[in-house]
């Protein structure tokens, strides 16, 4: 009997020890999971944290395909590339066609770069559908691609390892919200139909598509919340992509009229903008990037209808990006404001992402926001660095 009691006590002690060990292990697992969750949360809050302490394993060289050199936007992006390359000890070669409409030229440049088997490729595609074969080749060759400025939602699997882009739907919505604050009383008191114009430089680049559609969808939402019926007319892509329009163009309280020129030039954007602005019932217009916003301003040079007092008949203009022409228009009230991206930081983080990818690191996308600026906040510390000339 005594032996049985001893055995029972020994078993009980073993069970207690085992339970204590299991509890300790569970607590350790929980702590590790919490640490991992915290790290994931930090990365989600700040996707640039994935580059902390990054060093290049070799003196990499990256071809960086920009959309063109016709806009100072791309000069700012290259400044970011330069800064990052100096910090990391890598090099890059920026290449691009003369115009963002020269899609075939950019594709040829991309294919030539791929032929040299680079350790990584930076890409801001003029036309996302035209680079599919090139991306497929990159996936087959194991060349990591980092897209910047413009994402490629339908990229071949394994080709794009990171996207460094503005949240363009959000940025377009910011433009709509700020425009609507200026025109809502005019819309409310209108006796008949009114027109809100949008000029997009193209309907092929994903960033322009998302931005233009983001503006349209947010404007529809705001108008309908105030009891107005809305139609979208003009360019077929944007008409089909719009969500929630509830009326025909002939019957709607408000028509969002969308124009896209045959080629990406300020002159042709100006022609499209003039056709919108010359309509008597046009109350506002949005130029969705630097080229189209400058086109709107060029149109206004002939018509002189833009201004910041819609109650007295001014047409409200909103731009996008920066550059000296747009900044001057915001300062003098020709535009009530504009939305800026940070091309400098997109170029900067594209180089960081390519370096990490060349090192073999797995990456998360790096989204950036669009920020509203007007004459009152252009000198603010979080706005001024993004207002390139």
Q: Spell out the residues 6+ positions from residue 379 whose beta carbon is closer than 8 angstroms to its own.
A: none
- Helix (H) / strand (E) element for 78: namely helix 72-88
Domain 169-320 has CATH 3.40.50.720: no
Q: What is the DSSP letter of 117?
A: -
pLDDT in tens, 146-171: 999 999 989 999 999 999 999 999 99
Q: Which segments of 142-205 does DSSP mark as H helices, in order? A: 168-189
- Residue 232's CB is within 10 A of a number of other CB atoms, namely 28
Average pLDDT score, the chain: 90
pTM: 0.77
271 burial via Cβ count (<10 Å: 0-12, 13-18, 19+): middle
pLDDT in tens, 87-140: 999 999 999 999 999 999 999 999 999 999 999 999 999 999 999 999 999 999
Sheet containing strand 61-65, edge to edge, reads 91-95, 61-65, 121-123, 145-148, 160-166, 366-368
CATH fold of 50-166+342-386: Rossmann fold (3.40.50)
- Reply yes or no on whether the pLDDT at 23 is more than 50: no
Closest residue by Cα to residue 287 from 347, 356, 211, 361: 211
What pLDDT was estimated at residue 35?
Answer: 41
187/333 Cα distance (integer angstroms): 21
What pLDDT was estimated at residue 354?
Answer: 98
Closest residue by Cα to residue 339 from 290, 381, 385, 297: 290
Q: Name the residue ranges covered by the structural domains of the chain.
A: 2-45, 50-166+342-386, 169-320
> 50-166+342-386 and 169-320 share one CATH topology?
yes
CA geometry: angle at 12 spanning 10 and 13, to 5°? 65
What pLDDT was estimated at residue 44?
Answer: 52
CA 275 to chain centre: 28
- Helix (H) / strand (E) element for 24: namely helix 2-45
CB distance 357 to 92 below 8 Å = no
What pLDDT was estimated at residue 70?
Answer: 81
Tokens, residue 204 = 């092929």
């Amino acid at each position: 009997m005594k032996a049985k009691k001893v055995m029972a006590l020994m078993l009980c002690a073993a069970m207690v020890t085992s339970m204590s060990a299991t509890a300790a292990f569970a607590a350790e697992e929980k702590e590790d999971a919490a640490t991992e969750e915290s790290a994931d949360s930090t990365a989600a809050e700040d996707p640039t944290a994935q580059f902390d302490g990054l060093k290049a394993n070799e003196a990499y060289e990256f071809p960086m395909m920009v959309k063109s050199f016709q806009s100072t936007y791309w000069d700012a992006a290259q400044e970011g590339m330069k800064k990052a390359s100096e910090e990391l000890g890598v090099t890059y070669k920026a290449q691009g066609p003369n115009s963002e409409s020269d899609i075939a030229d950019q594709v040829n440049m991309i294919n030539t770069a791929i032929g040299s088997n680079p350790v990584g490729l930076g890409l801001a595609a003029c036309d996302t559908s035209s680079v599919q074969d090139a991306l497929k080749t990159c996936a087959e060759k194991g060349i990591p691609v980092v897209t910047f400025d413009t994402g490629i939602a339908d990229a071949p699997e394994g080709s794009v390892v990171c996207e460094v882009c503005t949240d363009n739907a959000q940025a377009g919505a910011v433009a709509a919200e700020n425009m609507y604050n200026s025109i809502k009383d005019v819309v409310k008191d209108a006796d008949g139909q009114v027109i809100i114009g949008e000029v997009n430089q193209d309907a092929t680049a994903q960033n322009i598509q998302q931005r233009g559609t983001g503006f349209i969808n947010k404007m529809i939402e705001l108008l309908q919340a105030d009891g107005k019926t809305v139609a979208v007319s003009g360019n077929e892509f944007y008409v089909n992509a719009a969500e929630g329009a509830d009326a025909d163009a002939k019957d709607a309280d408000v028509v969002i009229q969308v124009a896209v020129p045959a080629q990406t030039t300020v002159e042709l954007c100006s022609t499209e903008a003039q056709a919108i602005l010359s309509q008597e019932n046009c109350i506002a217009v949005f130029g969705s990037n630097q080229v189209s916003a400058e086109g709107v301003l060029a149109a206004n040079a002939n018509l002189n209808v833009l201004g910041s007092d819609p109650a007295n008949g001014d047409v409200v203009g909103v731009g996008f990006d920066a550059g000296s022409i747009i900044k001057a228009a915001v300062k003098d009230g020709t535009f009530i404001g504009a939305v800026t991206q940070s091309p400098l930081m997109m170029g900067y983080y594209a180089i960081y992402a390519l370096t990490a990818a060349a090192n073999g690191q797995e990456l998360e996308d790096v989204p950036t926001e669009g920020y509203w600026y007007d004459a009152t906040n252009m000198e603010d510390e979080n706005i001024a660095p993004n207002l390139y000339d």
